[in-house]
Amino acid sequence: MITLERVSKQYGESKTVLALRHIDLTLRRGERVAVMGPSGSGKTTLLNVICGLDEPSEGRILFEGLDLSALDDDARTRLRRDKIGMVFQTFNLMPTLSTLENIALPRRLQGQSRRESEHQARAMSERVGLSHRLDHRPDELSGGERQRVAIARALIMNPPLLLADEPTGNLDSATGHEILELLHALHIEFNMTILMVTHNIQAAESCRRIVTLRDGQIVRDAVTATAGEAH
């Protein structure tokens, strides 16, 4: 569903950083893939070029056969909103909006009515176990609850691709485990493709495939032995 062909990303003019070097990577529909690698190896950059937040300096990215570089900014923004869910380490919720409003936001931005989008958001909030926190603002929620809001928001459009950048990085291990279990259950239910950056080997091994980056290159791309019990 997504293919990277010799994708490189260079930052800066004089003190250049080659954050990605000639990445070839294909993710199939429904795959759950972990990205590992040391700090600075290019994991976040990889997610950013896939979702179109950053443009590759070289190479091309095909999303469901569509060449991302051929799209203008508006089309790229729409693609990100409608087809790609994103979850971050720091949750990135809108601080002034309630749980329900945060989850409904992508549908509101798409132009849906408040009534219709909040109807959908309510169903999604139930799915992630938040129906008792609908009126709370993010600062009135625990870390685990905030990440549940972010996951519900990421999936409200039912996107074929979910990108997660260290989704449990700011959570204690028990809460992190719950969030991974939730992602696991949602993956089985919705069958989206998941690409998840993690430093946690257990989180990585819950995926079927682990891609390891070092200095902007893929140094390993392996199917895990322990995953797959759910498949």
How far, in Å, CA of 113 to CA of 133, rounded?
22
CB 65 within 8 A of CB 226: no
* CB closer to Mg ion out of 46 and 130: 46
Q: For the segment 14-43, give every residue that binds ligand ATP (CB under 6 A).
A: 17, 19, 37, 39-43
* CB closer to ligand ATP out of 12 and 65: 12
Give the interface segment with Mg ion, choosing from 29-37, 42-50, 92-100, 200-208 (CB under 5 A). 42-50
Contact of residue 106 among Mg ion, ligand ATP, none (CB under 5-8 Å per partner type): none
CB of 51 to ligand ATP, least distance (A): 13
How far, in Å, CA of 128 to CA of 101, rounded?
15
Contact of residue 200 among Mg ion, ligand ATP, none (CB under 5-8 Å per partner type): none
CB of 216 to Mg ion, least distance (A): 13
Positive or negative: CA dihedral 203, 19, 106, 139: positive
Q: How far apart are the first and last CA of the chain?
A: 19
- Examine residue 117 and tell whether it contacts ligand ATP (CB under 6 A): no
* CB closer to Mg ion out of 42 and 56: 42
Residues with Cβ < 8 Å from 180, sequence gap 6 or more?
167, 168, 202, 203, 206
Note the maximum CA span of the chain: 53
Contact of residue 160 among Mg ion, ligand ATP, none (CB under 5-8 Å per partner type): none
- Examine residue 44 and tell whether it contacts ligand ATP (CB under 6 A): yes
**For the chain, how many residues are written?**
231
Tell how many helices (H) and how many strands (E) occur in the chain: 7, 10
How far, in Å, CA of 13 to CA of 47, rounded?
22
CB of 219 to ligand ATP, least distance (A): 13
Structure tokens at 195: 């690409």
Contact of residue 127 among Mg ion, ligand ATP, none (CB under 5-8 Å per partner type): none
Structure tokens at 32: 């759950």
> Using CB atoms, what's the residue nearest to Mg ion?
44
Contact of residue 42 among ligand ATP, Mg ion, none (CB under 5-8 Å per partner type): ligand ATP
How far, in Å, CA of 9 to CA of 47, rounded?
12
- Examine residue 44 and tell whether it contacts Mg ion (CB under 5 A): yes
Where does this chain bind ligand ATP (CB under 6 A)? 11-12, 17, 19, 37, 39-45
Where does this chain bind Mg ion (CB under 5 A)? 43-44
